[in-house]
Amino acid sequence: MNGAAAAIDEVMLNFTPGSLMLLNGILAIVMFSIALDLRPRDFRVFATQPRPVLAGLFSQFVALPALTFLLVLATAPRPSIALGLMLVAACPGGNISNFITHRAGGNTALSVSLTAFSTVGAILLTPLNIAFWGSLYPPTAEILRATHIDPVQVAVTVGLMLILPLMMA
């Protein structure tokens, strides 16, 4: 193992609670600005025509992790990189995608719906996806055993970044 490869496993991101709160606050403001243009009628179509939402959720929680796993098998990266790829693939889309969709004139209600459903679903599905796909790739097993996700912190973040801004609109 060369020095650069070893160094990537030693990288630590240290966010202070204050900086995380600031980042979450900025993202909440972005979501609120998008929510100002949305109305309940924009979301009602998904009750009668749920196919786009279901296709998006399937893609997020099944197709993307499966394709990422195949990529990991094909490239055999370091275990830390492999698990990182699986983690990113298992996480829901972010609020910035809603902003970009809105600015590009896309279906913002669909984007917000997918973000909301996938973020709430991620509380259960992200750890399950990581556990499932990570356990299938033997080099990630040791790292996987040390993985912990705090569901309370995830719930607080979901509330701050998705539910609160939409309720205020």
Residue 5 lies in a domain: no
Residue 3 lies in a domain: no
Residue 108 lies in a domain: yes
For the cut 80, the answer to whether the pLDDT of residue 75 exceeds it is yes
**Least confident range of 32-36, 95-99, 110-114, 157-161:** 157-161
Residue 75 lies in a domain: yes
Tell me the average pLDDT across 98-119: 86
**pLDDT in the model for residue 2:** 54
User: pLDDT-derived band of residue 144, with 50, 70 and 90 as boundaries?
Assistant: confident
For the cut 60, the answer to whether the pLDDT of residue 1 exceeds it is no
For the cut 70, the answer to whether the pLDDT of residue 4 exceeds it is no
Select the more confidently predicted residue: 23 or 85: 85
What sign results for the dihedral spanned by CA atoms 92, 4, 71, 132?
negative
Tell me the three state secondary structure of residue 32: helix
**pLDDT in the model for residue 42:** 79
Residue 143 lies in a domain: yes
> What b/e string do you get for 131-142 counting C-beta neighbours within 10 Å, with b at 16 or more?
eebbeebebbee
Give the whole-number percent of the chain exceeding pLDDT 70.
82
Residue 4 lies in a domain: no
Domain interval for residue 114: 14-39+50-168
**pLDDT in the model for residue 91:** 83
Residue 9 lies in a domain: no
**pTM, 2 dp:** 0.69
Residue 163 lies in a domain: yes
Tell me the average pLDDT across 83-106: 86
Domains in the chain, number: 1
What are the counts of helices (DSSP H) followed by strands (DSSP E) for the chain?
11, 0
Domain containing 124 — which CATH number? 1.20.1530.20
